Amino acid sequence: MANYFNTLPLREKLNQLGVAEFMDRTEFADGVNALKGKKIVVVGCGAQGLNQGLNLRDSGLDVSYTLRKEAIEQKRDSWKNATDNNFKVGTYEELIPNADLVINLTPDKQHTSVIKAIMPLMKQGATLSYSHGFNIVEEGMEIRKDLTVIMVAPKCPGSEVRAEYLRGFGVPTLIAVHPENDPQGKGLVEAKAYCVGTGGHKAGVLRSSFVAEVKSDLMGEQTILCGLLQTGSILSFDKMVEKGIDPGYASKLVQYGVEVITEALKQGGITAMMDRLSNVAKIKAFEVADELKTIMRPLFQKHQDDIMSGEFSRVMMEDWANNDKNLLTWRAETGETAFEKTPAGDVKIGDQEYFDNALFMVAYIKAGVELAFETMVEAGIKPESAYYESLHETPLIANTIARKKLFEMNRVISDTAEYGCYLFDHACKPLLANFMKTVDTDIIGKNYNDGKDGAVDNKTLIAVNDAIRTHPVEKVGSVLRKAMTAMKTIKTV
């Protein structure tokens, strides 16, 4: 098998990379009907598998799980996830032959072996679905020509796919039909019904492509969503402790601050997040973010370049072949960081304090969201896709950090995302080393407004506000958020 993207002529590369059409809510008027009464069999019951299956069943669909034999025999967590939630569970041989829709939600590294095992069992004309394009695009997996191949990719960790559904909302989702596998022309209808079943149509859906999804998803997760949130959390905590701030306070400010700060981002974009700062703090955060963007831009571009060329996938698949040696080593190292090992202190931190005392966090989040968006768009990814992947998903990842720090984030996201997160973190920390020497507690740990009279230069403030509001991510974001009429405010600490 060869990287599918790299086999395409440039014209077709750009064509498939550029598919990202926002779908009007009326396009989902038929709800789940196209899949009503159909046998839906999910392969794997992990972060996406369990949570998507719960949503699909609650939406009135017939869902069961097929697990590898050892998972059933050993009653592994996946078996417990499915049976504790009263789903029917069976082996591939028992369930795949009667399935109308097989949803592959196993880890990317297992896709080739899983597809080779289940494809011969799939009935003529059935449909195979993925939630990430890696196997098709990066590995070039070829699927039996009578089968329809679709993708329904939530731009969100599995846990939040369920949490937003239970709030009566959903998560932005990319749907796609593989151009090499749509023999009956039913792919889009089934992908739409599946998307409605997960609740994604309430948050916003892009008709995308396997190429556009994978090249944007890998970039978002490696940089702003997981990589920079990891690097920023660790650097913020270490700086506060180095400067004598109580470790318990520092731990709580970072663990919960990222959720409180990015909740403003989710509701009103970077503008709303920055507006939570005083004028004098906003100008400082703007300046810090600008400096961070200058330092980190080459790293963001390298990640996008390596994703586009297939170099990232090649390097990660070497680790797969080496039994995940690097992934497991880096996971253990992260668990040993002081931030991870210091419990959040039993100290009261008010909502506004998370902004006033963590201006540096606001700054790196602004820098990361804008950089990820800018880098994706300049690489040919459409603004709508880049928005969902950079800005909207950041608070959803932050929710996992608020629950149980980087451990929870790296547990819930895919192994693919986790691997890319560590690659970024290892490169970003040394890149920011000199900058961090200039950082003091005025921008992380203490109230930046202390001792200041709040006066600012009018022209400077006007220019800063204008620059924030006119960034392209704000323009596309204000349009896409208007479609999120069912978005709920989450209760942060």
Ligand X SMILES: CC(=O)[C@](C)(O)C(=O)O
Ligand Y SMILES: NC(=O)C1=CN([C@@H]2O[C@H](COP(=O)(O)OP(=O)(O)OC[C@H]3O[C@@H](n4cnc5c(N)ncnc54)[C@H](OP(=O)(O)O)[C@@H]3O)[C@@H](O)[C@H]2O)C=CC1
Site for Mg ion in 176-235 (CB under 5 A): 217, 221
The CA radius of gyration of the chain, in Å to the nearest whole number, is 22
CB contact at 8 A, 424 and 227: yes
Residue among 283 and 307 whose Cβ is closer to ligand X: 307
68 binds ligand Y (CB under 6 A): yes
Site for ligand Y in 297-326 (CB under 6 A): none
- Taking CB under 5 A as the binding criterion, the range among 137-145, 196-204, 249-257, 407-415 that sits at the site for Mg ion is 407-415
- Taking CB under 6 A as the binding criterion, the range among 219-227, 233-241, 312-320, 345-353 that sits at the site for ligand X is 219-227
- Least Å distance, CB 160 to ligand X, is 8
CB within 8 Å of 43: residues ≥ 6 apart: 49, 65, 66, 67, 92, 102, 103, 104, 105, 106, 114, 118
How many residues contact ligand X, by CB under 6 A? 11
Q: Tell me, yes or no, if 201 is annotated catalytic.
A: no
366 binds ligand Y (CB under 6 A): no
H-only helix segments in 276-337:
279-309, 311-321, 325-335
CB contact at 8 A, 355 and 446: no
48 binds ligand Y (CB under 6 A): yes
- Taking CB under 5 A as the binding criterion, the range among 114-122, 350-358, 364-372, 412-420 that sits at the site for Mg ion is 412-420
118 binds ligand Y (CB under 6 A): no
What is the rounded distance in angstroms from the CA atom of residue 387 to the CA atom of residue 262? 14
CB within 8 Å of 151: residues ≥ 6 apart: 129, 130, 131, 132, 133, 174, 175, 176, 177, 178, 191, 208, 210, 213
Cα–Cα–Cα angle for 13, 14, 17, rounded to 5 degrees? 85
Site for ligand Y in 153-172 (CB under 6 A): 153-154, 157-158
- Least Å distance, CB 224 to ligand X, is 10
Residue among 190 and 418 whose Cβ is closer to Mg ion: 418
Residue among 115 and 156 whose Cβ is closer to ligand X: 156
64 binds ligand Y (CB under 6 A): no
Site for ligand X in 141-200 (CB under 6 A): 155-157
138 binds ligand X (CB under 6 A): no
* H or E stretch covering 59: none
Site for ligand X in 401-420 (CB under 6 A): 413-414, 416-417
The one catalytic residue among 111, 132, 178, 201: 132
* H or E stretch covering 47: helix 47-58
Site for ligand X in 224-253 (CB under 6 A): 225-226
- CB-CB neighbours of 421 under 10 Å: 28
- Taking CB under 6 A as the binding criterion, the range among 40-48, 278-286, 388-396, 427-435 that sits at the site for ligand Y is 40-48
- Least Å distance, CB 414 to Mg ion, is 5
324 binds ligand X (CB under 6 A): no
Q: Which does 45 bind (CB under 5 to 8 A by kind): Mg ion, ligand X, ligand Y, none?
A: ligand Y
450 in helix, strand or coil?
coil
Is the dihedral angle over the CA atoms 465, 468, 469, 471 positive or is it negative? positive
- Least Å distance, CB 226 to ligand X, is 6
Q: Which of 16, 19, 40, 49 binds ligand Y (CB under 6 A)?
A: 49
Closest CA to 66 of 37, 39, 48, 93: 93
CB contact at 8 A, 394 and 408: no
Q: What is the secondary structure of 75-119 as a DSSP string?
A: T-HHHHHHHHTT--EE-HHHHGGG-SEEEE-S-GGGHHHHHHHHG
- Token look-up 């180095």 returns 242
**Structure token digits, residue 69:** 């034999």
Site for ligand Y in 135-154 (CB under 6 A): 153-154
469 is annotated as contributing to ligand binding: no
Q: Residue 213 to residues 157, 252, 397: CA-CA distances in angstroms?
A: 15, 34, 18
213 binds ligand X (CB under 6 A): no
Residue among 131 and 390 whose Cβ is closer to ligand Y: 131
The region, left, alpha or beta by phi > 0 then psi within -120 to 50, assigned to residue 451 is left
- Taking CB under 6 A as the binding criterion, the range among 47-55, 281-289, 315-323, 461-469 that sits at the site for ligand Y is 47-55
160 binds Mg ion (CB under 5 A): no
CB contact at 8 A, 216 and 385: yes
Over the window 73 to 112, marking each residue x when it contacts ligand Y by CB under 6 A and - when it does not, the resulting string is ---xxx--------------------------xxxx-x--
What is the rounded distance in angstroms from the CA atom of residue 412 to the CA atom of residue 159? 7
Over the window 413 to 432, marking each residue x when it contacts Mg ion by CB under 5 A and - when it does not, the resulting string is -x--x---------------
What is the rounded distance in angstroms from the CA atom of residue 103 to the CA atom of residue 122? 12
**Structure token digits, residue 234:** 């660790």
- Least Å distance, CB 153 to Mg ion, is 7
386 binds ligand Y (CB under 6 A): no
Residues that bind ligand Y (CB under 6 A): 44-49, 67-68, 71, 76-78, 105-108, 110, 113-114, 131-132, 153-154, 157-158, 412-414, 416
Residue ranges in contact with Mg ion by CB under 5 A: 217, 221, 414, 417
Which residues are tagged catalytic?
132
